[in-house]
Amino acid sequence: MASSFSKLADDVPKANNDANGTESEAESLLGQKRGRDLDEQMKQRDEIRRLMRKENERNRRREAAGKNKTKSERDADRDISEKIALG
């Protein structure tokens, strides 16, 4: 009887180790998935930032070239010879 009890007592730590090993595998897989999700989110944020930077640069260039002015602003900036030529 004592031998079966000691066998059982020896098996309990093994069972705990097996269960812990399975949990750590699951945790590891979950951690990898979270890492991939975070990487994907970072890529999306970087893409949005790149697009915003590109649009801001485009707007700055348009303003510098005078493309964002309204019709009345453009007309006010014209000299008399342009106004005559355009009617």
CB 63 within 8 A of CB 71: no
d(CA 71, CA 19): 74
Handedness of CA 44, 45, 49, 55 (dihedral sign): positive
- Domain boundary assignment for the chain: 2-86
| pLDDT bucket at 3, cuts 50 / 70 / 90 | low
pLDDT tens digits for range 44-82:
999 999 999 999 999 899 888 877 777 777 777 777 777
Mean pLDDT for the chain? 77
Phi (first) and psi of residue 56, to 5 degrees: -65, -40
- Burial class of residue 66 in the structure, from the number of CB atoms within 10 Å of its CB (0-12 exposed, 13-18 middle, 19+ buried): exposed
d(CA 40, CA 15): 37
The pLDDT of residue 41: 93
For tokens 């090993």, the residue is 21
Separation of CA 76 from chain center:
45
